Structure 1
Amino acid sequence: ANHLRPNLKKGSFTAEEERLIIELHAKMGNKWAQMAAHLPGR
């Protein structure tokens, strides 16, 4: 459990989150930290 970020989402990505990750990866490549800014709570 992450006690520093209690609002952190756990579990699988939603279909919408998966779509967004694919779209962001196509635009940004492997810049995961920048992509994470578009996925609140992840």
Structure 2
Amino acid sequence: ATTASAPANRYSHGCVGIAPHDAGLLFGWAPEGTLVTVR
């Protein structure tokens, strides 16, 4: 997926726009049920 502000980069959709690699790191780090606060 791309965005108008970063057309050459891939980012997730939704309220948290992060690169797929970073999303994978977070997914592996936080166990299911972990409370996440997005500011």
Q: TM-score, normalised by structure 1?
A: 0.34
Higher-helix-fraction structure: 1
Which structure has more RCO (C-alpha within 8 Å, separation ≥ 6)? 1
Q: TM-score, normalised by structure 2?
A: 0.35
